[in-house]
Amino acid sequence: MTTYQRPPKLDVKHAGQASQQLSGQDVLAHYERLMEETQGLGGQNAVNWTARGALQPDAKGQPQPWLFLNVSTSLPLTCQRCLGPVDVPVQIERAFRFVETEAQAEQEDDESPEDLLVLSREFDLAALIEDEVLMDLPVVPRHDTCPLPVKLAAVDVDFEEALPKPSPFAVLAGLKVADKR
């Protein structure tokens, strides 16, 4: 197994043929879009990853390159309940089958249970890792139990209490009295 700090560009077909195994530990600061999600926090958090290439037969029995990816990290996000910081652990295990062209990927995508990507000699493994972590983030990050009590009501000190609305029947009664005069 070859160990890297930053995920390298990868010749997917060669990685599959050689059953290449790669692993590494990167830092969150190297992933611009993830840093935007964390609002610049946690740049030194570890992003642990492993990638394994393989050749496996497709439905027609032809060998197809595959990439098996594992990623684990933790992102400091904002809890949407208490608005405090919450560390969100991310654990990903995905398998990708590679096809020759974008058109082939689009054609087979609906019937294929696995994720399809297009073969490349310079496949950007770091971008794939970042994409997968982004897609795995919760839509609404929150603590299971917030560390501080959550305020469920807000009162504005300058807000005056609304005047009671007059009854529509009282308004009609006033019109009736005005009619008799």
16-58 confidence digits (pLDDT tens)? 999 999 999 999 999 999 999 999 999 999 999 999 999 998 7
Residue (of 69, 75, 35) closest to 53 by Cα position: 69
**For the chain, how big is the Rg over CA atoms in Å?**
28
Q: State the pLDDT confidence band at 180, using cuts at 50, 70 and 90.
A: low
User: DSSP character for 19?
Assistant: T
3-state SS, residue 123: strand
pTM (2 decimals)?
Answer: 0.78
58 within 8 A of 116, measured Cβ to Cβ = no
